[in-house]
Amino acid sequence: MTFKEYWKGKAGLVEEVLQGFLGGRIPQWVGQRSPEPPNWGTTRASALSTYGKKEGPELLEESSTGGSQSGDLPGWVFSLPTDEKPFFRAPRLQEAMAYSLLAPGKRLRPVLVLAAAEVSRQEAAPEVRPNHLQPALDPAEPGRYGQANGNIVVGSPALKTRAAKTGKRAGSAPLVADDAPYEPTLLAACAVEMIHTYSLIHDDLPAMDNDDLRRGRPTCHRVYGEAMAILAGDALLTLAFEILGHYGQASGLLAVRGLQIVREIARAAGALGMAGGQVLDLEAEGRKVDLVQLKQLQAAKTGALFIASLRAGAILVGASPQVLACLSEYGRHLGLAFQITDDLLDVTGDGKKTGKGVGRDAAHDKSTFPSLLGVEGSRSIARTEVEAAQEALAPLGEAGWFLRELAAFLLEREI
Protein backbone atom coordinates (compact mmCIF):
# COMPACT_ATOMS: atom_id res chain seq x y z
CA MET A 1 0.00 0.00 0.00
CA THR A 2 1.40 3.37 -0.99
CA PHE A 3 1.43 6.56 1.05
CA LYS A 4 -1.31 8.12 -1.07
CA GLU A 5 -3.46 4.98 -1.02
CA TYR A 6 -3.22 4.78 2.76
CA TRP A 7 -4.19 8.43 3.20
CA LYS A 8 -7.01 8.25 0.68
CA GLY A 9 -8.43 5.11 2.24
CA LYS A 10 -8.45 6.51 5.76
CA ALA A 11 -9.85 9.86 4.63
CA GLY A 12 -12.62 8.13 2.69
CA LEU A 13 -13.60 6.10 5.72
CA VAL A 14 -13.72 9.25 7.87
CA GLU A 15 -15.96 11.00 5.34
CA GLU A 16 -18.31 8.02 5.26
CA VAL A 17 -18.71 8.14 9.03
CA LEU A 18 -19.06 11.93 9.12
CA GLN A 19 -22.04 11.65 6.80
CA GLY A 20 -23.63 9.19 9.20
CA PHE A 21 -23.27 11.54 12.14
CA LEU A 22 -24.67 14.48 10.20
CA GLY A 23 -27.62 12.29 9.29
CA GLY A 24 -28.49 11.92 12.97
CA ARG A 25 -27.20 8.39 13.48
CA ILE A 26 -25.53 7.42 16.73
CA PRO A 27 -22.88 4.83 17.62
CA GLN A 28 -23.89 1.54 19.19
CA TRP A 29 -21.18 -0.67 20.64
CA VAL A 30 -21.11 -4.30 19.58
CA GLY A 31 -19.38 -7.36 20.94
CA GLN A 32 -19.62 -6.55 24.66
CA ARG A 33 -20.76 -9.75 26.31
CA SER A 34 -18.49 -9.30 29.30
CA PRO A 35 -17.43 -6.36 31.48
CA GLU A 36 -14.15 -6.35 29.57
CA PRO A 37 -14.54 -5.48 25.87
CA PRO A 38 -13.46 -7.83 23.06
CA ASN A 39 -9.98 -7.82 21.67
CA TRP A 40 -9.21 -5.88 18.51
CA GLY A 41 -5.53 -5.44 19.20
CA THR A 42 -4.33 -8.59 20.95
CA THR A 43 -1.08 -10.28 20.16
CA ARG A 44 -1.40 -13.74 18.70
CA ALA A 45 0.44 -15.22 21.65
CA SER A 46 -1.81 -13.66 24.28
CA ALA A 47 -4.91 -14.52 22.31
CA LEU A 48 -3.92 -18.16 22.00
CA SER A 49 -3.14 -18.33 25.70
CA THR A 50 -6.60 -16.94 26.48
CA TYR A 51 -8.72 -18.87 24.01
CA GLY A 52 -6.67 -22.02 23.72
CA LYS A 53 -4.77 -23.36 20.73
CA LYS A 54 -7.11 -21.91 18.14
CA GLU A 55 -6.30 -20.07 14.99
CA GLY A 56 -8.06 -18.54 12.02
CA PRO A 57 -11.80 -17.91 11.99
CA GLU A 58 -12.43 -19.53 15.34
CA LEU A 59 -10.02 -17.22 17.12
CA LEU A 60 -11.35 -14.10 15.42
CA GLU A 61 -14.95 -15.05 16.05
CA GLU A 62 -14.45 -15.50 19.76
CA SER A 63 -12.32 -12.39 20.18
CA SER A 64 -14.83 -10.31 18.18
CA THR A 65 -17.82 -11.23 20.31
CA GLY A 66 -16.40 -11.35 23.78
CA GLY A 67 -13.32 -11.96 25.82
CA SER A 68 -11.45 -11.22 28.98
CA GLN A 69 -8.41 -9.38 27.69
CA SER A 70 -8.01 -6.16 29.64
CA GLY A 71 -6.71 -4.33 26.57
CA ASP A 72 -9.49 -5.43 24.20
CA LEU A 73 -11.53 -2.94 22.21
CA PRO A 74 -15.03 -3.36 20.80
CA GLY A 75 -16.34 -2.18 17.48
CA TRP A 76 -19.43 -0.10 16.82
CA VAL A 77 -22.16 0.32 14.26
CA PHE A 78 -24.54 3.13 13.47
CA SER A 79 -28.09 3.05 14.78
CA LEU A 80 -30.99 5.49 14.74
CA PRO A 81 -31.98 7.41 17.89
CA THR A 82 -34.50 5.54 20.01
CA ASP A 83 -36.87 8.49 20.33
CA GLU A 84 -39.05 9.72 17.50
CA LYS A 85 -37.89 13.32 17.65
CA PRO A 86 -35.84 14.49 14.65
CA PHE A 87 -32.14 14.85 15.38
CA PHE A 88 -32.01 18.19 13.58
CA ARG A 89 -34.88 20.59 14.15
CA ALA A 90 -33.19 23.28 12.05
CA PRO A 91 -32.53 21.88 8.55
CA ARG A 92 -30.73 25.05 7.51
CA LEU A 93 -28.26 24.54 10.35
CA GLN A 94 -27.64 20.95 9.32
CA GLU A 95 -27.08 22.13 5.76
CA ALA A 96 -24.51 24.72 6.86
CA MET A 97 -22.70 22.16 9.01
CA ALA A 98 -22.56 19.67 6.15
CA TYR A 99 -21.49 22.37 3.67
CA SER A 100 -18.28 22.98 5.59
CA LEU A 101 -17.65 19.57 7.14
CA LEU A 102 -18.06 17.55 3.94
CA ALA A 103 -16.25 20.00 1.68
CA PRO A 104 -13.19 18.49 -0.02
CA GLY A 105 -10.35 18.48 2.48
CA LYS A 106 -7.16 16.68 3.47
CA ARG A 107 -8.67 15.07 6.60
CA LEU A 108 -5.17 15.26 8.01
CA ARG A 109 -6.05 15.37 11.70
CA PRO A 110 -8.42 12.38 11.69
CA VAL A 111 -5.90 10.42 9.64
CA LEU A 112 -3.34 11.18 12.35
CA VAL A 113 -5.70 9.67 14.92
CA LEU A 114 -6.07 6.46 12.92
CA ALA A 115 -2.40 6.22 11.96
CA ALA A 116 -1.25 6.72 15.55
CA ALA A 117 -3.56 3.95 16.68
CA GLU A 118 -2.13 1.55 14.12
CA VAL A 119 1.45 2.47 14.98
CA SER A 120 0.74 1.89 18.66
CA ARG A 121 -0.86 -1.50 18.03
CA GLN A 122 2.03 -2.65 15.88
CA GLU A 123 4.61 -1.43 18.37
CA ALA A 124 2.86 -3.32 21.15
CA ALA A 125 2.73 -6.54 19.11
CA PRO A 126 5.53 -6.51 16.53
CA GLU A 127 5.21 -10.23 15.94
CA VAL A 128 1.76 -9.91 14.41
CA ARG A 129 -0.33 -7.18 12.85
CA PRO A 130 -3.88 -7.11 14.29
CA ASN A 131 -6.32 -8.67 11.87
CA HIS A 132 -8.36 -5.53 11.24
CA LEU A 133 -5.22 -3.58 10.32
CA GLN A 134 -4.15 -5.91 7.55
CA PRO A 135 -4.47 -4.52 4.03
CA ALA A 136 -7.22 -6.01 1.91
CA LEU A 137 -5.87 -9.07 0.11
CA ASP A 138 -6.37 -10.11 -3.46
CA PRO A 139 -9.65 -12.06 -3.80
CA ALA A 140 -7.74 -14.88 -5.46
CA GLU A 141 -5.69 -15.48 -2.34
CA PRO A 142 -7.44 -17.50 0.36
CA GLY A 143 -7.68 -15.52 3.55
CA ARG A 144 -6.64 -16.74 6.93
CA TYR A 145 -9.31 -15.21 9.08
CA GLY A 146 -12.46 -14.83 7.03
CA GLN A 147 -15.56 -13.38 8.62
CA ALA A 148 -16.15 -12.65 12.25
CA ASN A 149 -19.56 -13.71 13.52
CA GLY A 150 -21.15 -12.70 10.24
CA ASN A 151 -19.70 -9.20 10.27
CA ILE A 152 -16.82 -7.85 8.24
CA VAL A 153 -14.23 -5.86 10.10
CA VAL A 154 -13.37 -2.67 8.25
CA GLY A 155 -9.91 -2.81 6.75
CA SER A 156 -9.32 -6.50 7.36
CA PRO A 157 -8.62 -9.43 5.04
CA ALA A 158 -12.26 -10.37 5.62
CA LEU A 159 -13.07 -7.79 2.96
CA LYS A 160 -11.75 -10.13 0.35
CA THR A 161 -13.98 -12.92 1.67
CA ARG A 162 -17.05 -11.05 0.50
CA ALA A 163 -15.30 -10.13 -2.74
CA ALA A 164 -14.50 -13.76 -3.43
CA LYS A 165 -18.14 -14.75 -2.91
CA THR A 166 -19.60 -11.97 -5.01
CA GLY A 167 -16.92 -11.87 -7.66
CA LYS A 168 -16.33 -8.19 -6.98
CA ARG A 169 -13.02 -6.60 -6.21
CA ALA A 170 -12.50 -5.72 -2.54
CA GLY A 171 -13.34 -2.11 -1.91
CA SER A 172 -15.29 -1.68 -5.14
CA ALA A 173 -18.35 -0.54 -3.21
CA PRO A 174 -18.39 1.40 0.05
CA LEU A 175 -19.21 -0.57 3.14
CA VAL A 176 -22.06 0.65 5.30
CA ALA A 177 -22.28 0.38 9.04
CA ASP A 178 -24.76 -2.46 8.87
CA ASP A 179 -22.16 -4.53 7.01
CA ALA A 180 -19.15 -3.91 9.21
CA PRO A 181 -18.35 -2.74 12.71
CA TYR A 182 -16.17 0.35 12.71
CA GLU A 183 -13.07 0.45 14.84
CA PRO A 184 -13.43 2.58 17.99
CA THR A 185 -10.80 5.18 17.10
CA LEU A 186 -13.01 6.46 14.27
CA LEU A 187 -15.17 8.28 16.83
CA ALA A 188 -12.19 10.35 17.95
CA ALA A 189 -11.08 10.86 14.36
CA CYS A 190 -14.45 12.29 13.37
CA ALA A 191 -14.66 14.44 16.49
CA VAL A 192 -11.27 15.98 15.75
CA GLU A 193 -12.32 16.79 12.18
CA MET A 194 -15.48 18.47 13.45
CA ILE A 195 -13.45 20.59 15.86
CA HIS A 196 -11.04 21.52 13.09
CA THR A 197 -13.89 22.45 10.75
CA TYR A 198 -15.59 24.58 13.41
CA SER A 199 -12.32 26.47 13.83
CA LEU A 200 -12.12 27.10 10.07
CA ILE A 201 -15.67 28.43 9.95
CA HIS A 202 -14.99 30.85 12.79
CA ASP A 203 -11.53 31.82 11.52
CA ASP A 204 -13.07 32.84 8.19
CA LEU A 205 -15.60 35.23 9.79
CA PRO A 206 -15.30 38.99 9.17
CA ALA A 207 -14.39 39.52 12.82
CA MET A 208 -11.43 37.17 12.41
CA ASP A 209 -9.66 36.64 9.07
CA ASN A 210 -12.57 37.70 6.83
CA ASP A 211 -11.86 35.10 4.13
CA ASP A 212 -14.00 34.40 1.10
CA LEU A 213 -12.73 30.94 0.07
CA ARG A 214 -12.17 27.73 1.98
CA ARG A 215 -11.59 24.24 0.60
CA GLY A 216 -12.24 25.47 -2.92
CA ARG A 217 -15.65 27.00 -2.27
CA PRO A 218 -17.12 30.16 -0.75
CA THR A 219 -16.74 30.26 3.01
CA CYS A 220 -19.68 29.28 5.19
CA HIS A 221 -20.63 32.82 6.16
CA ARG A 222 -20.58 33.94 2.52
CA VAL A 223 -23.20 31.31 1.71
CA TYR A 224 -25.30 31.15 4.88
CA GLY A 225 -24.64 34.47 6.58
CA GLU A 226 -22.56 35.27 9.64
CA ALA A 227 -25.13 34.23 12.23
CA MET A 228 -25.68 30.79 10.69
CA ALA A 229 -21.95 30.29 10.24
CA ILE A 230 -21.33 31.04 13.91
CA LEU A 231 -24.05 28.59 14.91
CA ALA A 232 -22.78 25.93 12.49
CA GLY A 233 -19.36 26.17 14.10
CA ASP A 234 -20.89 26.02 17.58
CA ALA A 235 -22.95 22.99 16.61
CA LEU A 236 -19.97 21.12 15.13
CA LEU A 237 -17.91 21.74 18.25
CA THR A 238 -20.76 20.52 20.44
CA LEU A 239 -21.42 17.48 18.26
CA ALA A 240 -17.75 16.56 18.46
CA PHE A 241 -17.94 16.21 22.24
CA GLU A 242 -21.26 14.41 22.03
CA ILE A 243 -19.54 11.83 19.84
CA LEU A 244 -16.60 11.56 22.22
CA GLY A 245 -19.11 11.03 25.02
CA HIS A 246 -20.12 7.72 23.46
CA TYR A 247 -16.87 6.23 24.70
CA GLY A 248 -18.47 6.34 28.13
CA GLN A 249 -21.00 3.76 26.96
CA ALA A 250 -18.27 1.30 26.05
CA SER A 251 -17.11 -1.22 28.59
CA GLY A 252 -13.81 -1.75 30.33
CA LEU A 253 -10.69 0.19 29.53
CA LEU A 254 -12.12 1.91 26.48
CA ALA A 255 -14.46 4.00 28.62
CA VAL A 256 -11.55 5.09 30.83
CA ARG A 257 -9.35 5.88 27.86
CA GLY A 258 -12.21 7.74 26.21
CA LEU A 259 -12.49 10.01 29.22
CA GLN A 260 -8.77 10.70 29.05
CA ILE A 261 -8.83 11.75 25.41
CA VAL A 262 -11.83 14.04 26.00
CA ARG A 263 -9.63 16.00 28.37
CA GLU A 264 -6.69 16.02 25.95
CA ILE A 265 -8.74 17.14 22.97
CA ALA A 266 -10.62 19.78 24.98
CA ARG A 267 -7.36 21.19 26.26
CA ALA A 268 -5.90 21.31 22.75
CA ALA A 269 -8.97 23.09 21.36
CA GLY A 270 -9.43 25.59 24.19
CA ALA A 271 -7.73 28.57 25.77
CA LEU A 272 -4.46 26.70 26.27
CA GLY A 273 -4.43 25.47 22.69
CA MET A 274 -6.17 26.39 19.45
CA ALA A 275 -8.46 29.15 20.73
CA GLY A 276 -5.69 30.74 22.74
CA GLY A 277 -3.35 30.51 19.77
CA GLN A 278 -5.88 32.28 17.60
CA VAL A 279 -5.98 35.14 20.12
CA LEU A 280 -2.19 35.39 19.98
CA ASP A 281 -2.40 35.39 16.19
CA LEU A 282 -4.89 38.24 16.17
CA GLU A 283 -2.87 40.22 18.69
CA ALA A 284 0.28 39.77 16.59
CA GLU A 285 -1.26 41.44 13.54
CA GLY A 286 0.52 44.65 12.63
CA ARG A 287 3.52 44.06 14.86
CA LYS A 288 6.72 42.08 14.68
CA VAL A 289 7.28 39.07 16.88
CA ASP A 290 10.51 37.14 17.26
CA LEU A 291 11.00 33.52 16.25
CA VAL A 292 10.43 32.15 19.75
CA GLN A 293 7.13 34.01 20.08
CA LEU A 294 6.02 32.94 16.60
CA LYS A 295 6.74 29.28 17.36
CA GLN A 296 4.82 29.54 20.63
CA LEU A 297 1.88 31.13 18.83
CA GLN A 298 1.75 28.42 16.18
CA ALA A 299 2.33 25.62 18.68
CA ALA A 300 -0.95 26.61 20.31
CA LYS A 301 -2.93 27.57 17.21
CA THR A 302 -1.94 24.57 15.06
CA GLY A 303 0.35 22.18 16.86
CA ALA A 304 -1.81 21.47 19.89
CA LEU A 305 -4.54 19.72 17.90
CA PHE A 306 -1.95 17.78 15.91
CA ILE A 307 -0.48 16.41 19.11
CA ALA A 308 -3.91 15.70 20.61
CA SER A 309 -4.96 13.81 17.47
CA LEU A 310 -1.91 11.56 17.64
CA ARG A 311 -2.21 11.01 21.36
CA ALA A 312 -5.93 10.27 21.15
CA GLY A 313 -5.43 7.42 18.70
CA ALA A 314 -2.54 6.03 20.72
CA ILE A 315 -4.26 6.30 24.10
CA LEU A 316 -7.41 4.56 22.88
CA VAL A 317 -5.46 1.43 21.96
CA GLY A 318 -3.33 1.45 25.10
CA ALA A 319 -0.02 2.81 23.83
CA SER A 320 2.95 2.66 26.15
CA PRO A 321 4.35 5.87 27.68
CA GLN A 322 7.36 5.51 25.38
CA VAL A 323 5.19 5.45 22.25
CA LEU A 324 3.13 8.38 23.51
CA ALA A 325 6.31 10.36 24.05
CA CYS A 326 7.51 9.58 20.52
CA LEU A 327 4.19 10.58 18.97
CA SER A 328 3.94 13.75 21.04
CA GLU A 329 7.40 14.86 19.97
CA TYR A 330 6.60 13.98 16.38
CA GLY A 331 3.36 15.97 16.56
CA ARG A 332 5.15 19.01 17.96
CA HIS A 333 7.55 19.17 15.02
CA LEU A 334 4.93 18.12 12.47
CA GLY A 335 2.56 20.86 13.55
CA LEU A 336 5.26 23.49 13.23
CA ALA A 337 6.39 22.19 9.82
CA PHE A 338 2.78 22.21 8.65
CA GLN A 339 2.25 25.81 9.72
CA ILE A 340 5.49 26.97 8.10
CA THR A 341 4.54 25.34 4.79
CA ASP A 342 1.03 26.75 5.15
CA ASP A 343 2.53 30.23 5.51
CA LEU A 344 4.69 29.57 2.46
CA LEU A 345 1.70 28.51 0.37
CA ASP A 346 0.04 31.83 1.14
CA VAL A 347 3.04 33.49 -0.51
CA THR A 348 4.05 31.08 -3.27
CA GLY A 349 1.03 28.78 -3.66
CA ASP A 350 -1.68 28.52 -6.29
CA GLY A 351 -5.12 29.41 -4.96
CA LYS A 352 -6.73 26.92 -7.35
CA LYS A 353 -4.77 24.12 -5.68
CA THR A 354 -4.90 25.31 -2.07
CA GLY A 355 -8.63 25.98 -2.26
CA LYS A 356 -8.29 29.33 -0.52
CA GLY A 357 -7.07 32.81 -1.27
CA VAL A 358 -3.35 33.59 -1.37
CA GLY A 359 -1.65 36.73 -0.13
CA ARG A 360 -4.15 37.03 2.70
CA ASP A 361 -1.53 36.99 5.46
CA ALA A 362 0.26 40.00 4.00
CA ALA A 363 -3.05 41.80 3.47
CA HIS A 364 -3.83 41.39 7.18
CA ASP A 365 -0.23 42.18 8.18
CA LYS A 366 -0.01 38.88 10.02
CA SER A 367 3.10 37.59 11.74
CA THR A 368 4.20 34.60 9.67
CA PHE A 369 7.39 32.68 9.07
CA PRO A 370 7.96 34.18 5.60
CA SER A 371 7.40 37.71 6.92
CA LEU A 372 10.00 37.06 9.61
CA LEU A 373 12.51 34.80 7.86
CA GLY A 374 11.78 35.19 4.17
CA VAL A 375 10.82 32.37 1.81
CA GLU A 376 14.16 30.56 1.78
CA GLY A 377 14.66 30.96 5.51
CA SER A 378 11.20 29.51 6.09
CA ARG A 379 11.91 26.57 3.82
CA SER A 380 15.10 25.89 5.71
CA ILE A 381 13.43 25.82 9.11
CA ALA A 382 10.61 23.67 7.68
CA ARG A 383 13.19 21.09 6.58
CA THR A 384 14.70 21.16 10.05
CA GLU A 385 11.32 20.52 11.66
CA VAL A 386 10.52 17.69 9.25
CA GLU A 387 13.84 16.01 10.02
CA ALA A 388 13.17 16.37 13.74
CA ALA A 389 9.69 14.86 13.30
CA GLN A 390 11.11 11.89 11.45
CA GLU A 391 13.84 11.44 14.04
CA ALA A 392 11.20 11.30 16.78
CA LEU A 393 9.73 8.24 15.07
CA ALA A 394 13.02 6.31 15.04
CA PRO A 395 12.14 4.09 18.04
CA LEU A 396 8.99 2.92 16.24
CA GLY A 397 10.89 1.43 13.30
CA GLU A 398 8.96 0.42 10.21
CA ALA A 399 5.64 0.81 12.01
CA GLY A 400 5.99 4.57 11.60
CA TRP A 401 6.41 4.50 7.82
CA PHE A 402 3.26 6.48 7.01
CA LEU A 403 3.90 9.18 9.60
CA ARG A 404 7.49 9.44 8.38
CA GLU A 405 6.40 9.91 4.78
CA LEU A 406 3.71 12.35 5.88
CA ALA A 407 6.34 14.62 7.38
CA ALA A 408 8.35 14.56 4.15
CA PHE A 409 5.19 15.29 2.16
CA LEU A 410 4.81 18.65 3.88
CA LEU A 411 7.89 19.96 2.09
CA GLU A 412 6.33 19.23 -1.28
CA ARG A 413 2.66 19.87 -0.68
CA GLU A 414 0.65 22.21 -2.87
CA ILE A 415 -2.60 21.95 -0.89
Handedness of CA 231, 235, 238, 240 (dihedral sign): negative
Task: Give the pLDDT confidence score for residue 251 in this predicted structure.
Answer: 83
E strand spans, 289-392: none
pLDDT of the residue at 296:
95
Beta carbons of 313 and 116 less than 8 angstroms apart = yes
pLDDT score at 82: 67
C-alpha 331/C-alpha 325 separation (Å) is 10
Give the separation between CA 150 and CA 75, rounded to whole angstroms: 14
Give φ, ψ of 27 to 5 degrees.
-75, 145
Q: In this structure, are residues 150 and 60 in contact, taking their beta carbons and an 8 Å threshold?
A: no
Q: What angle do CA 254, 37, 142 make, to 5 degrees?
A: 115
- What does the pLDDT read at residue 142? 29
Asked whether the whole model's pTM tops 0.75, one would answer yes
- CA gap 21, 190 in Å, rounded: 9
- CB–CB of 135/332 below 8 Å? no
Average pLDDT of adjacent 10-residue blocks, the chain of 415 residues? 95 95 90 44 33 30 29 79 64 95 95 97 56 32 28 28 30 41 95 98 94 92 97 98 95 93 97 96 92 95 97 96 97 97 89 77 90 95 97 96 97 85
Q: What angle do CA 383, 385, 386 make, to 5 degrees?
A: 65
Which CATH entry fits the domain spanning 3-32+74-131+179-409: 1.10.600.10, 1.20.1260.10, 2.40.100.10, 3.40.630.30?
Answer: 1.10.600.10
Three-class secondary structure of residue 182 per DSSP: strand
Amino acid at 245: G
Terminal Cα-to-Cα distance of the chain (whole angstroms): 22
CA 92 to chain centre: 27
* Pair 317, 119: CB distance under 8 Å: no
**CB-based contact 177:78 (threshold 8 Å):** yes
Residues 6+ apart with CB under 8 A from 289: 297, 367, 372
Q: Is 328 left (phi over 0), alpha (psi -120 to 50) or beta?
A: alpha
Query: 247: which DSSP letter?
Result: G
Give the DSSP letter string of 212-236: SEETTEE-HHHHH-HHHHHHHHHHH
Question: Which residue ranges make up each domain of the chain?
Answer: 3-32+74-131+179-409
Answer yes or no: are the C-beta atoms of 371 and 344 closer than 8 Å: no
Question: Torsion angle of alpha carbons 23, 25, 26, 28, nearest 10°?
Answer: -150
Q: Looking at residue 115, what DSSP letter applies?
A: H
The DSSP bridge partners found for residue 213 are 218
| Rounded Cα–Cα distance for residues 397 and 25 (Å) | 39
For Cα atoms 353, 301, 309, give the angle at the middle one, nearest 5 degrees. Answer: 80
Quick one: how far is CA 393 from the chain centroid?
A: 18
Q: For residue 298, report the phi and psi dihedrals to the nearest 5 degrees.
A: -75, -25
